[in-house]
Structure 1
Amino acid sequence: MGITVWIRRFLLSGICTLCICAVVAVFLSCSTASAAPSAEEMQRALDTHTGFMESLEILNPLDQAAYPPDFAPPLVAWEPSGFAQEHWLVRVELKDRSVLAASGQPFWRMDQDTWDAVRALAVKQPVRIHVTSFDGDRPAALGETRLSVAPDPFDARVLVQRIPVPFLHAQDNPGLSRWLLDDPTTLEPPVTVLSEMPHCGNCHTVSGNGKVFGMDIDLHGDKGGYALTDMDRDLRLGPDQFISWSRYKPDQPRRSMGLFTKLSTDGRFAVTTVKEKSFFIPIDHVTYSQLFFPIRGHLAYYDRQTGTMAALPGADREDRVQTSPALSPDGKWLVFAGAPLNQELLDAIGDRKFLPANGRYIDELNDLYPYQFDLYRMPFDQGRGGEPQPLAGASANGMSNYFPRYSPDGRWVVYCRAPTGLVQQPDSELWIVPAQGGQARRLACNTEPFNSWHSFTPNGRWIVFSAKQVSVFTQIYAAHLDEQGRASRPVLLDALAEHGAAFIIPEAVPADIPLRSIRIDVPAPDTTS
C-alpha cells in the first residue's frame, strides 16, 4: 500500500507532484533523523499532559464504521497536523486493556492479534481508537474514531476497473487501464486479471450466480462489441465469445453501443441500451472528468439460449429515453431509468459526439444542461416485456434517479439519486426503496461527496460502491445492510486506492469465482498504415 494514498487532502487536492514527493520524503525520514519515543513513553507523556490539544482528523475508519467479521486487519489513517517533529501514538481500547502502537507515518495497520481481540469485542459494542499527534515529546493533537463488527460475512470478491484520470486520458490510452479482483478478507494485493488492453473496454458485469461474464469491448471500430461468455479461471475472449449490439436493427438510424448492460442472475439474458445518443462533455479535471447521460435510446435484450436479439416491449419507445436496466433475481421484473426526450439537448449536441467544456467545471455544466431520470418497473417475462409503471419513491421526486440494483432476495432496489444527470455527479447519493415501490430512504453509508456505482454481495448483506470520501480519486467502499434495509457507515477497501488513478464499476462477485486472468484473443487494429 503506497504512502501517497494516505497522505490525504493536502496531497490529493491539487498540490504538485514535487510537493507530494517532498512531504513523503519528510515522513520517510522522520523515523531515522531522530529516535522517536516508544508507545509507552508517549502514553506516559499523554497521561500527565494538562495543556490544550488540537483536533486531529481520523480518515479511516470513519466514525461508527461497521466491518465484516472476516475482513483483513483494518488500516487506521489520519491527517497529519504538520508539526516539525511529528509522530503518533495509536491506542485501541479493549474491554480490559489497551493496545498501544507508535507510528512515524500517518497510518498504522492493526496486527492480527489486535484485530482478533477487536472483532471479539466489536460485535457487542463499538471499539474506540485514539490517535495522538506528538510535536517532539509534547502531545499536540488528538482524534478518536469508533468501529463495530457486523454479524454477516463478506461473501464476495470485488471486480473493479482501475483507470488513469481524467476520462479522456483513459479513453485515449486503453492499455493503461487494468481490471483487478480484490479479496478484502486478506492482505494479499488484488489480482490483475486484465491489463495492456489492446482495445477500448469499459463496463464489466458478472451474472448473480457468478457463471457468466460480460464486458464492453470495442473490436475494430465496432462500438457495439460485447464479450459474453461462461466464467472460467482463464478467460480467452476470441471472436466466438463476442456478440455485437450493432446488429440490432442495423438498417435503422443510429448505431447501438449497448450502454449499461446487465445480466440475469442465471446469465441467460443480457439487457442493454440500444440506438442511443449520448450527451457527452469531457472535462479536463481529475475529480469529475465528464458530463454524460443518454438523451435517446431504448432497451433491448439478448438471449444466450436462442441467440435472439430484440427490443424489450414496453421499454422500446422512441419518444423517451430508457436506460440503466436491472433485472430482479428471479428474472420476472426489470427496473430501468427513463426520461422524456429533451429537444433542446438534442439540438445542442446535434450530430457531434461530444461538446467542448470550454473551461467549465461539472457544477456549471449541470446548471447549463439539467436532465432528470425516473425509475420505472415492468415485467421482463423472458423478453416479452410489459407496461412500465413509475417506481413509487424513486420517481416524480424532483431528482434524477438512476443505476438501480436489486438486492439478491428481491426485496429492495438500491439506486443513485442526484439533482441532475447520471454519471459522476458530485451530489449523487445512494437511496433504497422497496422493490414494488414505496417509501424511499437515504442510506447511512453515504459519504461526502459523491456516491455512485454499487452492487450487492451474494448474501445481500453488503453493498460495495464508489466514493470520494478521502480522495479526489474514486475509491471503493463497503457497507453493511440489515434485513430492514438499514445501512451502516462504510469501510474503505484500502487495496483499491491509489494516487493518480480511479477505481470504478465495483462488482461484488461470488467469493468462489475462479477468475484469475482475461486475455483478448482478437488482434488490435493496425494503426500504422
Structure 2
Amino acid sequence: MHESKTSPMGEDMRRKVLVLVGPVVVVPLGIFLLHHSRTRKLEELFSGPARAAQVSKLPYLPGYRYDLRAYERYTQERSYEALGIPSPPRIEPLSWPGGAAREEFEAMMRRRAEAVTGATAVLRLRSPSVYRERRPSPLLRITYPPDGAVFPPNLCTPEVEWEDPLDDIWQVKVGAGEREWTFVTHRRRWWFPEEVWEELKRVGGEIWVEVRGTRKDGSGPVYVSGRVHFSFAPCPADDFVVYRIVSPPFNPKKAPDMFVRDIRSFKEELFLSARRKYCFNCHTFSSKRGDEGKLALQVRYMAGGDYDLRVYLGIYDISSRKGWKVRLPFSIQMSTFVSWSPDGEKLAFSANQQLVTLHPVVFETQFAGEPTSDIAIYDLPENKAYLLPGASEPDLLEIYPRWTPNGDSLVFCSAPAGLHPAQVKYDLMVIPFEGGEPRPVPGASLNGRSNYYPRFSPDGRWLSFCTSDGGSLIKSSSDIYIMRSDLKGPPRRLESNVDYAADSWHSWSSNSRWLVFASKRDDGIYARLYFTYIDEEGHAHPAVRLPVKELPPASYNIPEFVAHRPPITDGNLYKAVRVEGPALSVQGG
C-alpha cells in the first residue's frame, strides 16, 4: 500500500487557493455577523417596557384671519367707479411687504425641504391667513398617515412621519393580521419597503403602525406612540394625474411646467414645458380615459416677438395627434376654465376675461380675481363660438362652467361685478345649454359663502364644488362640498377636509370613487396632492398624500385624473399650440 504524497508544487498551489478563497468566505461572513450584532444591539434599545406617549389634543398657534374691514363698503357700493377710485389695472405689479421679506422668502424657496417645507416666524406674522399650525408635540406622535386613512390599492409606497423632540432613534412596527414587521431608523420619516407594501395589499384588512423612540446612548426611557390604523380601498384610483407645479406667490407672469405622474410609481414625466415664456393653464380632457378624445388648454405667450395673437385657446386631438390654436370671435381672447360637453363636441369656457392680482402676500393666499368674465360655448364641428344668453350679463361675473351629466344644462358661478376680489361671493347657477334664465342651485347659492369649481362625477351621481369666505383663487378658507347631481338635497362638507388650511381644486377618477385635490394642510404654503376615497353613500374617508421623495419648493396645481397615460409628447403638443403656429379663426354665433 502506497501513501500519496503531495508535491511541493501541489502544496504551494493549495496554499494559494486558500489565500484566494479565504477572504471570499470570511469577509461576507464578517459583514453578516457585524450587521447581525448591530441590529441586535439596536433592537435591545427598544426591549423591555415602554411608556405610552399620551398626547392630548394639541392647541393651534395664534393665527390670522382676513381683516376685511377696509373692504366692507364694497359690499354696499358695488363698483370701483361708485367709490371714486380708478378701476384696477389688468395686471397690477407685485409688491412685497417689508424690505427683508423678499430676500428671505426667495432664499427659502430655493431650498429643497427634505420632509415638510417650513417658513420663518417673521414671514408668518407678515401674512394674513386662515392657516393655523398646531403647537409641536412634547412627546412622540405620528402625524402621517391619519388614523383611519384609506389608500388606493394602486398607490406606490408611502411614508410614515412623526414628531418627537426627545429621542434620536426609532423603531417602526407594522402589523396586519398575524404578520408583523419591525424596522429601525434614525430619521423622523420612514418609507414602507416595496415588498412590505405589496404584502400588506395582499393581506388586506385593517393594518396598524406604531413608532417607538428612545436615545441611542440608552440614557432615556422607551416611548411608544399610539397606533394608527389604515386600510386599502376595494377599488383603485386612476393610474395617472396631470398637473402643474407653480411656485408662490401667484402672478400673471409665471411660466409653470405641466407634468404627468404614474401614481403606481415615483415616475414623474414632463407633459408640457412652458419654456420660460408661456403660461399653459386650465388643461382638461374630453375623456377620462386620457388616451382618446381631445385636450383643451388656455395659452398665454409672455415673451417678445411680433405676434398678434398672444392669448388663445389650444386644442389637441389625441386620436389624430394633431392640434391647433383657436382665435375666438371676441375682443378679449382670454378663455379659461374650459369644460367639455359629454359628447366631446362642444366647449364651455369663461370668456372675455381680465385678470387682476391685488395685495399679494407670500403665503397661501392673495387677492386675485377677474374684473370681467362671461360664459361662452365653442361648437367644434360648426366652428362657431358665442356668448351664452343668460350667462353673459355685463353687470355680473360668470365663470367656471361645467356641463351636467346629460349635457342639457350648464352649472356655472355668478357674482356681482366690480367688487374687490376679497368680497366676491359666487353663487352656483344652472342654465340650459342653449341659454335662458339661470336658476340658483339650492344650498350652493345665497348662503353667505363663495361657491365655485363645480365638478360632476363621471357616473353622474354627484356634484362637488368648493366654498370659501370670499373669492375663489388661492383661498386658504376653501373646503370641498358634495351634493346629489340632480341639484336636490342640501350639500355637505366632505369629511376629508381639514378646518385649518385650504382644500381646493379637485378632479374625479373615472370610476367616480376617488377625488384628487390640492391641499395646503402640510404647511400652509405649498399645495400637495391628496386622494380621498368616496364610498357608495358619497362620504369621504381620511385623505392620503401622493408620495413624493424630493419635494419642490412649489405648489401642485390643477390636478386632473386620467385612467391611462395620454399618448402625448411635450414636443408634439408644444408644436401644436406654440405662438408661431397658424390659428383657426372661429366664427361668431
| TM-score over 0.5 (shorter chain) | yes
CA distance in 2: counterparts of 1:337 and 1:36, whole angstroms: 64
- How far has the Cα of 1:446 moved from its partner? 1.0
Check whether the contact 2:364–2:476 (CA below 8 A) recurs between aligned residues.
no
Q: Which residue of 2 aligns with 1:397?
A: 447
Q: Please, which runs of 5 or more residues in structure 2 have no aligned partner? A: 1-34, 54-137, 302-306, 581-589
Check whether the contact 1:92–1:127 (CA below 8 A) recurs between aligned residues.
yes
- How far has the Cα of 1:388 moved from its partner? 1.6
- How far has the Cα of 1:196 moved from its partner? 4.5
Q: Which residue of 1 aligns with 2:551?
A: 498
- Does the residue aligned with 2:370 lie in a helix, a strand or coil? strand
CA distance in 1: counterparts of 2:210 and 2:444, whole angstroms: 40
Is residue 170 of structure 2 the alignment partner of residue 88 of structure 1? Answer: yes
Q: Which residue of 2 aligns with 1:464?
A: 516
1:22-61, aligned counterparts within 5 Å? Answer: 41-42=41-42, 44-51=44-51, 53=53, 55-61=139-145
- Percent identity, aligned pairs only, is 27
- How far has the Cα of 1:104 moved from its partner? 2.2
TM-score for the superposition, normalised by structure 2: 0.70
CA distance in 2: counterparts of 1:256 and 1:430, whole angstroms: 30
Aligned partner (choices 376, 390, 395) of residue 429 of structure 2: 376
Q: One-letter code of the match for 2:522?
A: V
Q: Which residue of 2 aligns with 1:356?
A: none
Check whether the contact 1:324–1:404 (CA below 8 A) recurs between aligned residues.
yes
CA distance in 2: counterparts of 1:105 and 1:298, whole angstroms: 52
Q: One-letter code of the match for 1:323?
A: I
Q: Which residue of 1 aligns with 2:534?
A: 481
Q: One-letter code of the match for 2:490?
A: Q
Is residue 190 of structure 2 the alignment partner of residue 190 of structure 1? Answer: no
CA distance in 1: counterparts of 2:482 and 2:258, whole angstroms: 28
1:364-443, aligned counterparts within 5 Å? Answer: 369-380=422-433, 384-437=434-487, 438-443=489-494
Aligned partner (choices 407, 411, 415) of residue 335 of structure 1: 411
Aligned partner (choices 138, 149, 158) of residue 232 of structure 2: 149
CA distance in 2: counterparts of 1:161 and 1:465, whole angstroms: 13
Check whether the contact 1:465–1:478 (CA below 8 A) recurs between aligned residues.
yes
Q: Which residue of 1 aligns with 2:506?
A: 454
- How far has the Cα of 1:459 moved from its partner? 0.8
- How far has the Cα of 1:282 moved from its partner? 5.3
Q: 1:36 to 1:205 in 2, by over 3 A?
A: farther
Tell me the C-alpha RMSD between the 2 structures.
Answer: 2.7
Structure whose CA Rg is larger: 2
- How far has the Cα of 1:337 moved from its partner? 0.8
- Does the residue aligned with 1:218 lie in a helix, a strand or coil? strand
Residues 453-496 of structure 1: per-residue CA shift (max 9 Å, x gap): 00101111111000012232111111111221111111100239
Q: One-letter code of the match for 1:71?
A: L
CA distance in 1: counterparts of 2:462 and 2:310, whole angstroms: 33
- Does the residue aligned with 1:309 lie in a helix, a strand or coil? strand
- How far has the Cα of 1:315 moved from its partner? 1.3
- How far has the Cα of 1:51 moved from its partner? 4.7
- How far has the Cα of 1:512 moved from its partner? 4.8
Residues 282-324 of structure 1: per-residue CA shift (max 9 Å, x gap): 5141432x32223432100111111010011221222322111
Q: One-letter code of the match for 2:265?
A: T
Q: Which residue of 2 aligns with 1:515?
A: 568
Q: 1:57 to 1:230 in 2, by over 3 A?
A: farther
Q: Which residue of 2 aligns with 1:25?
A: none
CA distance in 2: counterparts of 1:131 and 1:151, whole angstroms: 27
Q: Which residue of 2 aligns with 1:105?
A: 187
Check whether the contact 1:191–1:516 (CA below 8 A) recurs between aligned residues.
no
- How far has the Cα of 1:221 moved from its partner? 6.5
Q: Which moved more, 1:45-54 or 1:206-215?
A: 45-54
Residues 321-357 of structure 1: per-residue CA shift (max 9 Å, x gap): 2111111233222111111234x54xxxxxxxxxxxx
Q: Please, which runs of 5 or more residues in structure 1 have no aligned partner? A: 1-34, 346-365
Q: 1:466 to 1:221 in 2, by over 3 A?
A: farther
Check whether the contact 1:59–1:470 (CA below 8 A) recurs between aligned residues.
no
- How far has the Cα of 1:243 moved from its partner? 0.7
Check whether the contact 1:208–1:266 (CA below 8 A) recurs between aligned residues.
no
Q: Which moved more, 1:107-116 or 1:309-318?
A: 107-116
Q: Which residue of 1 aligns with 2:102?
A: none
Q: 1:523 to 1:203 in 2, by over 3 A?
A: closer
Check whether the contact 2:156–2:547 (CA below 8 A) recurs between aligned residues.
no
- How far has the Cα of 1:370 moved from its partner? 1.6
Aligned partner (choices 333, 336, 355) of residue 259 of structure 1: 336
Q: One-letter code of the match for 1:72?
A: C
- How far has the Cα of 1:232 moved from its partner? 5.7
Q: Which residue of 1 aligns with 2:317?
A: 230
TM-score for the superposition, normalised by structure 1: 0.77
- Count of matched residue pairs: 445
Aligned partner (choices 314, 320, 326) of residue 243 of structure 1: 326
Q: Which residue of 2 aligns with 1:24?
A: none
CA distance in 2: counterparts of 1:429 and 1:508, whole angstroms: 19
Q: Which moved more, 1:38-47 or 1:493-502?
A: 38-47
CA distance in 2: counterparts of 1:496 and 1:264, whole angstroms: 37
Is residue 421 of structure 2 the alignment partner of residue 316 of structure 1? Answer: no
Q: Which residue of 1 aligns with 2:81?
A: none
1:169-180, aligned counterparts within 5 Å? Answer: 171-174=252-255, 177-180=256-259
CA distance in 1: counterparts of 2:296 and 2:441, whole angstroms: 27
Check whether the contact 2:46–2:214 (CA below 8 A) recurs between aligned residues.
no
